[in-house]
Structure 1
Amino acid sequence: MKRHESLYPLSHHHHHALVMAVDMTQVGTEKEKHSYREMLRQLIDFWEKDGNQHFHDEETVLIPLYLAYGEEIDHEAVKRMLYEHAQVRGYVHQLRHSTRAMTNEMQELGQLLQDHIRFEERHLFPKVEEQIPEKYLYQANGQFMRDSYSGF
């Protein structure tokens, strides 16, 4: 899917999160690539380096621009994004502070992340790109944290 270059940092985060999310859904199954503990370490590492800041960037930079300049704002899409961000934060908190393996919750978080990323990339980002003036998209790009894996 063609993406406006100003949103590349967010889409790079999405790519890495999507790969990890697929692995999370496979924890505890015959398709498992990583043990629960390994996947938990990867999740915490990703969250601390990229995930938490990614949500912050979307919530404090991208969405305010969309709300300020959009003429046909999809309020339900914005609500869904924010609600799913809260769900992800809840899962991350629960998983990182549990003293036992929470395989089902890990799988649920993996599925939630996959659905959330696809929703943003296929539905929300196209609306944002269409309605925010290009000069503000470029200015927003300078405020997005760069991906710690690719440096983009």
Structure 2
Amino acid sequence: MTENKPLKRHKSLQPLSRDHHHGLLLAWKIRTGFKKEVEVERIKVYTDWFYTTHLVPHFKMEEAHVFSILPEDHPLRMQAIDEHKQIDALASTMTHLENTLVKLADVLEGHIRFEERVLFPEIQSVATAKEMEHIDEIHYEQNLEENTIDEFWK
């Protein structure tokens, strides 16, 4: 029986994978807030801060420098961009906050899993060494500065 070993993430994509970890933590924090019956407005304030500070720059970097390795009409690239738009729309929604935030957590987690398990391996398999080097050169690793004003998830 052959064992399917996970594809080792190219070093140029590793900082993006670490960013993804923080996105998964956002989904966890949203869900934990609701389990602890935290006021939805408190969760929304934190989510808005995280979205603006971390997700928006991350999405821009991916779309400009990572997804562009694939052709514009590549279905995986199109799916990733569509999911970014869906996350943007959810983050901007100011009505039905509890449902919206729960959906945001679900969509964000699903999107990150898609990028890690499907999109990044595809990009790694077709990218040239020069393209990966370019990602390495332009990507800055976000040192996550946590917003500790209201740690509602603790």
TM-score range, shorter chain: 0.7 to 0.9
Moved more, 46-55 or 33-42: 33-42
Deviations 1:38-80 (A, max 9, x none): 3222212222221001111111111112339xxxx8x221111
Is 1:102 the counterpart of 2:97? The answer is yes
> For the aligned residues, what is the CA RMSD?
2.2
Partner of residue 10 from structure 2, selected from 4, 13, 20:
4
Aligned length, in residue pairs = 139
2:88 aligns with 89
Partner of residue 26 from structure 2, selected from 2, 5, 20:
20
Please report the TM-score for the alignment, with normalisation by the length of structure 2.
0.79
Is 1:51 the counterpart of 2:50? The answer is no
**Unmatched runs of 5 consecutive residues or more in structure 1:** none
Cα offset for 1:15? 0.3
Please report the TM-score for the alignment, with normalisation by the length of structure 1.
0.80
Q: State the secondary structure of the residue aligned to 1:5.
A: coil
Q: State the secondary structure of the residue aligned to 2:12.
A: helix
Cα offset for 1:26? 4.3
Letter in 1 for 2:36: E
2:79 aligns with 80
CA distance in 2, matches of 1:17, 1:123: 17
Write out aligned runs for 1:120-131 (5 A). Answer: 120-131=115-126
**Unmatched runs of 5 consecutive residues or more in structure 2:** 1-5, 146-154
2:142 aligns with 147
1:34/1:66 Cα in 2 relative to 1: closer, same or farther (>3 Å)? Answer: farther
Extract structure 1 runs of 4+ deviating beyond 6 A.
none
2:70 aligns with 66
Cα offset for 1:27? 4.1
